[in-house]
A and B are shown apart, each in its own frame.
Chain A
Amino acid sequence: MTWLRLDGVTRRFGGKDALSGLSLDVEQGEFIALLGPSGCGKSTALNCLAGLLPLSEGSIWQDDVRLDTLPPERRGFGMVFQSYALFPHLSVRRNIAFGLQMRRLPRAEVRRRTDEAIKLVQLEEHAGKLPGQLSGGQQQRVAIARAVVLEPSLVLMDEPLSNLDAKLRLEMRTEIRRLHQSLGLTTVYVTHDQEEALSMADRLVVLRDGRVQQIGTPEELHTRPANRHVADFMGYRNLLPMTVTAVTPAVVTVEGAGLTLRGTGVGTLAVGDEVVAAVRPEDLQVGPDGVPVTVEVVEYQGRELAVEARTAQGTMLHLRAVERPTPGDRITVVADPARVLVFPA
């Protein structure tokens, strides 16, 4: 059941499209991630949704009520900012209570709900402190508590984890997902980190240059990226410009730079087309009867080794190896045709 509808949402800055024609249906309880590199329009989209930026075109509807003409304070959404945007002169408690006070709720209720929110994010000991006295992770929790204490119909999060260190980021990921589920929130989450988006979201919207590239579940995006840009973003590190030499219904054969690969075509392709073959490093393996390459760099990555190797023609390939090769070693690599995607260039 569609609950929130974005219809051709467009925002221009000085004649340039920062976001053009974003249409999206959001169901209640969904976790949507807006994903893309910086400058792709994802934050613009979020700010339009929040009401912090007026739309240039398009409309936003919630249960047949038009939202995009309402000011942000009347939309009833909660928002978590990248910089947290805590009020520096108010204590943790008063930061969280602020929104409730703005709604002129009775004092007892403000107190009760604030206490609940503080408990929810486990900041009981810090309730009297000012934001400046907290660590980054604690500030993050205050920001989340401040957004969810209002029981908003929609929570917007703008790269909330980008200022945290790696370990804390993983913890907060789980924390946010847990809050989302236990409070039954609907969340729109902006990030540039594909791993974060894939692990948290029910559905992803990939944006590039203000345009939607693909909308789908994590599995769909991971295995069937719609174009080479999405593939690039989803971890297909080997993007090789090649030419189609043979096409069968199941397999496309491509050649270029001394390589011959067989893969799955995306869209219609004909012999002679300029294409880009996309392969993940983990789908290129050391094996017999493959492409001969020379190992250049080996990085230890826990269970596996990340290897950079060069073909005789000078094309750099990224692959994974289980046993450690030494730089200078000559090896051969093979790729599973089902895992090689061929996109029109």
Chain B
Amino acid sequence: MTEKTALRHRLAERGVDRQLLLLLPALLAVLILFVYPFAYGMGLSFQGGLGAYRTFFEDAYQRDTIWTTLQLALPAAFLNVAASVPIAYRMRGRFRGKRLLTTLLVVPITLGTVLTAEGLLNFLGPTGWFNRVLLDAGLVDAPLRLTNNYWGVFFSLVITGFPFAFLLILSYLSGIDPTLERAAATLGAGWWPRFHRITLPLLAPGLATTFCLTFVLAFSVFPSAILVGDPAGTTRVISIAAYHAAYEAYDYSLASAIAVVMGVVELAVVAAVLGVRSLFYTGSTGGKG
């Protein structure tokens, strides 16, 4: 046996052969379109040493965008997940109209930023239907201010994020073998112990994943922060800062630095959540899938 074939044999035993070439196009695409630009951006951000980062962190107006974004994204993600759990738990079984209901819940995904923004401005605005109902019912004396501020953006995050979280959690719940709960019931557990001692621990990894995905969605908030928010003040999120730096100040170094900071903050939150998740049971959920 020649040296070359020997090497090929050894590689084949470890699972390396020509079939892996099928990975190449996808790998190249991700390397060229994602990794390289990211690295390029990193390079840009360090062009003046740490200058760009210093500019960002020394300017309270810029620095605070991190906090502003987290203040929006964390409660929105938390609410979306927390509200989804009891609703999905109640709907995990089969009932008439379940498919219709889940289909209706997908509708917000099709709305798009602009319709959601327009709708919120119309509906929750000072002369919108919502405030009219409250006024006519005598619940408030003056219209509530729910748009062009924090709440407008928050609502838009709930409208797009809640269905997403709900559908994910519903699918995780359906993946848990229902006989486990029945088994617990035969052992004398009522619905609350069944939920929090059996279902919830098995759902925990799914919850963490859902929270991460919903958080990522909310953390990237950009157009709705401009359209229904207060983009110069209370909802000046980090994406706006990055966009302004790049396309209004033409400071690509600063823009890249902000993008890097944004990525780091987001990954830090995701890593923290996944870290907490790893403390829980992570094996199979007894489902058939």
Contacts and interface: CB of A to CB of B under 8 A. Distances in A.
Interface in B104-162: none
A56 interface: yes
A55 to B, nearest CB: 8
B206 to A, nearest CB: 29
A106 interface: no
Contacts of B15: 14
Contacts of A12: 13
Contacts of A56: 9, 13
Interface in A1-57: 12-15, 54, 56
Contacts of B14: 14
B12 interface: yes
Secondary structure of the A side of the interface? loop
Contacts, number: 10
Interface in A53-88: 54, 56
B33 to A, nearest CB: 33
Contacts of A54: 9, 12
Nearest to A18: B13
Secondary structure of the B side of the interface? helix
B9 to A, nearest CB: 6
A54 B15 CA distance: 11
Interface string B1-38: 00000000100111100000000000000000000000
Contacts of B12: 54
Contacts of B13: 12-15, 56
A134 to B, nearest CB: 21
Nearest to B1: A57
Nearest to A15: B13
Contacts of A14: 13-15
Nearest to A12: B13
Interface in A129-157: none
Contacts of B9: 54, 56
Interface in A104-130: none
A70 B150 CA distance: 69
A14 B15 CA distance: 8
A87 B235 CA distance: 56
Interface of A: 12-15, 54, 56
10 contacts: A12-B13, A13-B13, A14-B13, A14-B14, A14-B15, A15-B13, A54-B9, A54-B12, A56-B9, A56-B13
